[in-house]
Amino acid sequence: MQTVAFLLQMAAKSIRVYFFTALHDIVVKAKLLYVFLLVSFSMVFSTNLAADEFNKFFIQEVRVCYDENEALSSDTFFLQSCNKMPLGDVKLGNNLTWIGSTFDLHVSELLDKPIGLFFSAQAAAEFYFNGELIGRNGYPSAQPEGEKVGVMDFVIYIPKGLLKKRQNELVIKLSSHHKVYDISTSIPFAIITYYGSPQNIVLRNYLPTLLSLGILVIGLVFSSQLVLQGSNPRRSTFWLPVFSLLVVLQLLVEVSRGLIAYEYPYHDVRLVVILLLGMLSGVCLLLYIIDSFVKSHRWAYFSLSMLLTFAFIYLGNTIEEKTVFALQIPAGISFCISAYQALKVHDNAMKHASALLVFFFVIAINPNQFLDLYFYCFVAVLLLFFFIQHSIEYKTEQSQKQLAQKRAEQLQRVLDECNEQQTPSKIKLNLTDKEEWVSCDSICFVKGARDYVEISLLDERSVLHNETLTIMEEKLPVTFLRVHRSYIVNKQFIQSLQKLPSGGGHLLLSTGATVPVSRRIMPKIKKQLM
């Protein structure tokens, strides 16, 4: 409990630290879901403690007889020479199948509560306990038209008077004419336990998935926001919400067995849907890794990876094994891709390779148990890792963009300052009694007067400025021309140029003033005014 709470706190802290500011409100709301997860885990923990109090008896080995001529009965079953085998190995054919088992029960420990047989099978069934018919699930028959389909999970009450401490006999008559596919175990389990709703018994096994479902939903919401709020998101980020959505759907289909009492023909359809969702999840995992780390020949990588994945799925013996391969093989290939990129010193590839390697070997240690107990928890943790890594990358990219923007703004300020120095919009004039900033556009021309200059303004004023004409020429923008050793003219006020026989000339300004042009500068002026 403390370990999971600590992991959740670390995950929430990572999200708060690394996730972008725009999702702050969502993170605040997610705290409610965080509390919900803790409460859910507490419920699971307490439920598991309560479950330990149940005195369960699992029927593991049975005797099996196939009744082609409808000659068997519950009374004569144990007189037949039937085959012994594990319950999970029983194959239901196109005829009647009888299974039976003898076992001892600690009756004294069970008398305080009603006892039932929890039976799960893709078949219609008829149940006999110590020679007495105790109930039916559907109606088994040797002919398809005579069979009434039963539900997949069924609980039947065992009268207390039939219970014995030793040598209890259970006989079950079965038929399974309406199976859609023959791809899974026909009889997953038979358990004698306290009587209760079959859906509650099934759902109790799925309660731990509430924790992983919460993480998957958080990952789906946040990764979707990561894609939607990115101005130019990388293609790899698109696969995270798709991956999350597929796993959430797969988990909901899995849990539906504990919510809906469906008839047994739909069980294989449900398993096929789970397999297809698992295959699509594996495809998304591959595409995520390929788009994250492979720069060229992406479709070649993807095509070869999928061929290998489909080969393993085809070679799987059971639907459960195929479902495991659907995600395990893409995870192994994704590890190889990210590990290879890590050797090429690709940023972030080593972290992904390490996570995928752990994920691959956890599946390989015990694939069947992994699928039943840990699958969604480990997928949720893997997705949470991907999500946090993308949050970190997004935060880093945003910091780099902000730094680049700051540098660009600083450079722009420097350029503006340089431009202002070269072409100032205003100039400071030192007058006799004050200092005055004057717009350069309002200066018509400047006339030199030894250590002073006389400035003619657009408002018909003429002011005396305490600087030489040479210094004024350096300060004024490029729109001003030196036309005479004693004059500088603003080009925007020039109306016409009049040549003189001596080679010089006069500039007529739009203000009505006339400014002389020296013979030496005349060619330059003519070129400027062309």
pLDDT digits (tens, 9 = 90+) for 197-217: 888 777 777 776 667 777 778
Q: Is residue 406 scored above 60 in pLDDT? A: yes
For the ranges 28-32, 331-335, 410-414, 434-438, the one whose mean pLDDT is highest:
331-335
CATH superfamily, region 57-196:
Galactose-binding domain-like (2.60.120.260)
444 confidence band (pLDDT: 50, 70, 90) = very high
- Cβ(244)–Cβ(223) below 8 Å: yes
The answer to pTM > 0.75 is no
Lowest-confidence segment of 102-111, 140-149, 258-267 by average pLDDT: 102-111
Q: Is residue 88 scored above 90 in pLDDT? A: no
pLDDT, position 149: 93
* Cα(497)–Cα(517) distance, integer angstroms: 9
Is the pLDDT higher at 227 or at 68? 68
Helix, strand, coil percentages, rounded to 5, for the chain: 55, 20, 25
Comparing C-alpha atoms, which of 157, 174, 158 is closest to residue 64? 174
Q: Is residue 424 scored above 80 in pLDDT? A: no
Domain boundaries, the chain: 57-196, 201-390, 426-529
Mean pLDDT within 399-422: 72
Helix axes 265-293, 298-315, angle to 10 degrees: 150
Q: Report, in angstroms and rounded to the nearest whole number, the Rg of the chain calculated over CA atoms.
A: 43
* Cα(7)–Cα(9) distance, integer angstroms: 5
346 confidence band (pLDDT: 50, 70, 90) = low
49 confidence band (pLDDT: 50, 70, 90) = very low
For the ranges 30-34, 256-260, 286-290, 425-429, the one whose mean pLDDT is highest:
286-290
- Cβ(474)–Cβ(494) below 8 Å: no
Is the pLDDT higher at 445 or at 14? 445
Architecture of domain 426-529: Beta Barrel (2.40)
Mean pLDDT within 84-89: 89
Q: Is residue 4 scored above 60 in pLDDT? A: no
* Cα(444)–Cα(416) distance, integer angstroms: 25
Mean pLDDT, the chain, whole residue set: 79
Q: Is residue 330 scored above 50 in pLDDT? A: yes
